[in-house]
Amino acid sequence: MIKLLVYVAIALAIILIFQLMRIYQLSAEVKGKHVGKADDKDNRSQGLMMLIFVLALFGALIWCLYDVRGKLLPPAASDVGVTSDNVFFFNWVIIFIVFFITTFMLFYFPYKYKKQKDTKAFFFPHNDKLELIWTVVPSIALAVIIIYGLSLWGKMTGTPDPKAVKIQIYAKQYDFTARYAGTDNELGKTDYRLIDDGAGNVVGMDSTDKAGWDDIITKGDIHIPVNTPILFECNAREVMHGVFFPHFRDQINCVPGITTEVHFTATITTDSMKMITKDSNFYYLLICNRVCGPGHYTMAQHVVVDSPDEYKAWLAKQHPYYERKTQGKLTASK
C-alpha cells in the first residue's frame, strides 16, 4: 500500500511540474514573448556560458593532471621501459595539444559567432588551403609517432644481445612455467607430444637433444639478474596468452605452435624497488593480458630481479630437469 502511494505521489509531482511549465509558457505568450525562440539576450548568455564552461573544464583537467602526477605508472625498471615511457609521454603531449586547441575552438566559436539581430551567416563551402593544412599536419604528426613507436618495438623484439640470458616462458591455462638455459646458454628442443605433466615435463622437452640436458624448469618466482640482457622465448600450450611485464614495459603474445621473442635489461633490483616504492611487499609481476578463459584473472607470476651474485647463488640451488647418470641415461631430476 505504501509503495502504491509513493508511485501515485511521484506521478502527481510529474503532472504538477508539467502543468507549471505549461502555465509559464502561456503567461509568457500572453505578454508577447515566444519562449521557444531565442533572442539576442539568450544567444549572448548561452555563448558566454559555453566559454565559461570550457575554461572551467580546462581548469579541472589541469588540476586532475597535477593531482595524479607520478601515480599513473610505477617507475620503469628496464632499458625498454625508459624508452616506452618517453614514447607514452610524447603521445600524451600531442594528444593534449590537439585536445586543448580543438575543444577551445568548439566552445569559443558559439560565443564568437553567436547569432545577433540583422546578422547573416557566411557561406563557406570549400577551401583547398585549409584542407591541405588539416591533412598534411596530422599526417606528419602520425608519421613521427609511428617512427618513434617502431624504434621502441625494435628495441623490444629486434636482434638481442648475443650474450643475453635465455629463458623460456611457457604459458598455459592458468599459469606460467620458466625454463632456464644451462651453462651452454642454449635451450633444448621441445615437442608438444612429449608433454607429461605427471613427470614434470610441462614444456615437452626432448631428451635426445643434448642442448637441453642442463636446462632448468622452475615454477613459482621467476628470477633474473639486474643489468643483464634477458631474452624470453615465449610459447603457449592451448590458447593465446599474453606475456606482459608491466614494470619493465615489455609485452609479447604467446601463440600456440610458434615461438615469439622479447628482450630487455632490468635496471632496478627488487630490493631497490622496495625502497623506492616504500613497500616491503613489492614484487615485479608477469601477467597474462589476453583473456584466455574463466581463470584468466589468476594468471600472474612474481618476478625477482637479483643482483648478479644473488642470481648466481639462486641458480646454483636449482637442478637441471635431466641429470646424467653413470650409465649415460637421462632421468628426471627431483
Using one digit for the tens of pLDDT, what is the confidence trace for 258-311? 999 999 999 999 999 999 988 899 999 999 999 999 999 999 999 999 999 999
Judge whether residue 104 has pLDDT over 90: yes
In a domain, 274, yes or no: yes
Judge whether residue 70 has pLDDT over 80: no
CA distances from 39 to 34, 115, 131 (A): 9, 9, 34
Domain count, the chain: 1
Stretch 208-237: mean pLDDT = 92
In a domain, 97, yes or no: no
In a domain, 32, yes or no: no
In a domain, 149, yes or no: no
Of 24-38, 85-99, 194-208, 316-330, which has the strongest mean pLDDT? 85-99
In a domain, 223, yes or no: yes
User: Helix, strand, coil % (nearest 5) of the chain?
Assistant: 45, 20, 35
pTM: 0.75
Stretch 53-62: mean pLDDT = 94
CB 334 within 8 A of CB 297: no
In a domain, 63, yes or no: no
Strands (E), the chain: 165-172, 175-180, 216-218, 222-225, 229-236, 241-245, 250-254, 260-265, 284-287, 300-306, 322-324, 330-332
Sole residue written with cell 637479483? 306
Of the candidates 222, 215, 220, the one whose C-alpha atom is nearest the C-alpha of residue 266 is: 222
pLDDT in tens, 131-143: 898 899 889 989 9
Kindly report the CA angle at 111 between 110 and 112, in degrees rounded to 5? 95
Write the CATH number for 235.
Answer: 2.60.40.420
The number of residues making up the chain comes to: 334
Helices (H) and strands (E) in the chain, counts: 6, 12
Q: 269 is in which domain, residue-wise?
A: 165-332
In a domain, 181, yes or no: yes
The per-residue pLDDT for 177 is: 93
pLDDT in tens, 139-184: 998 999 999 888 888 888 888 888 899 999 999 999 999 999 988 8
In a domain, 253, yes or no: yes
